[in-house]
Amino acid sequence: MYLEHFGLRELPFSLTPDTSYFMTRDGYHDALNVLLVSLRGGEGFVKVTGEVGTGKTMLCRTLLKRLGDDFASAYLPNPYLRPSSLLFSLADELGVEYPKRATQHQLMRCLTEALLALHAAGRQVVLCMDEAQAVPVATLETLRLLTNLETEKRKLLQVVLFGQPELEATLNQPSIRQLRQRITFACELKPLGRASLARYVTHRLTVAGHVNGELFERRALDALQDGSRGVPRLVNILAHKALLCAYGQGQAVVARRHVREAIADTADARGGPRLRVPGPMTWLRGLVGRA
């Protein structure tokens, strides 16, 4: 594609949450520190919210990577689960053995024994639930009951909920107010500001191997901020398309017009197409013969 043209080792704006690209910018760095401190302190529930595309999954995976050997972790990326399915998933993540046709009561007993054994071995257990706004209320209540397990000094299971703002409405339901009261720390991930966006773009390009000066012109970054509204996922989409556009035209740097073409091809971008499927970008013709 355009890797050799721009002196890159790999695609810098992939949508896959690669923790090697995690940037300790304001907000994200603070959120990571809050999570690490609260988990090491043995807190029961911690909540992280943010709009779609603001980097919750990246933060989650970075957190799991930063936890030391004194932690045992479980990660549920799709927690739209019934209560019994939650218990099975947690047991599988922790490597807990249970009877082939275990009842919910048997699962709870097996998990309790496993959590006690891990505690005795000096390990804290953390469950990270991504897309937590989709967790059914009954499943959240089962999760709360699991966190009732504790010694005299600390919880046997700690939970971090990563979710979209809709998670707040779920947690505000009277039926699960006991869980809400157990959330001791909360973080909110916000979109990138203009200065942070410039550092974000430079950081990802540097990690991907770029070393020869600024690759995005200042006005291109302005357009990127405007079109993406600072949402990292949209920044990645638009920056990737803009690089393709510049490459297709044989340009060494990304100009504002390249970002504008990317915006015109991206439905969720501010100023992008609305209520229709975007057609192929005109510059795609420039890629023929260059791939």
Nearby residues of 155 by Cβ (< 8 Å), 6 or more positions away: 42, 43, 44, 147, 149
**Cα(189)–Cα(26) distance, rounded to whole angstroms?**
10
Each residue's pLDDT tens digit, 2-41: 999 999 999 999 999 999 999 876 678 889 999 999 998 8
**Cα(164)–Cα(130) distance, rounded to whole angstroms?**
9
Q: Which residues of the chain are in CATH 1.10.8.60 domains?
A: 3-16+192-285
Q: Which residues of the chain are in CATH 3.40.50.300 domains?
A: 28-189
Query: In the CATH scheme, what is the code of domain 3-16+192-285?
Result: 1.10.8.60
The strand pairing partners of 71, in sequence order, are 124
Each residue's pLDDT tens digit, 235-256: 999 999 999 999 999 999 999 9
**For residue 278, what pLDDT band results from cuts at 50, 70 and 90?**
very low
Each residue's pLDDT tens digit, 187-235: 999 999 999 999 999 999 999 999 988 999 999 999 999 999 999 999 9
> How confident is the model at residue 275, as a pLDDT?
46
Beta-strand ranges (E) seen in 53-165 are 71-76, 124-129, 158-163
- Mean pLDDT over all residues of the chain? 89
Is pLDDT of 127 > 50? Answer: yes
**For residue 100, what pLDDT band results from cuts at 50, 70 and 90?**
confident
pLDDT > 70 fraction of the chain, expressed in percent and rounded: 93
The mean per-residue pLDDT over the stretch 99-116 comes to 90
The strand pairing partners of 48, in sequence order, are 162, 187
Query: In the CATH scheme, what is the code of domain 28-189?
Result: 3.40.50.300
Lowest mean pLDDT segment, chosen from 20-29, 67-76, 155-164, 270-279: 270-279
The mean per-residue pLDDT over the stretch 258-269 comes to 93
Is pLDDT of 272 > 80? Answer: no
Greater pLDDT, 102 or 241: 241
Joined together, the tokens standing for residue 253 give 């740097």
Is pLDDT of 287 > 70? Answer: no
Is pLDDT of 277 > 50? Answer: no
Whether the CA torsion 147, 151, 154, 157 is positive or negative: it is negative
Among the listed residues 244, 286, 241, the one whose alpha carbon sits nearest the alpha carbon of residue 268? 241
Is pLDDT of 282 > 60? Answer: no
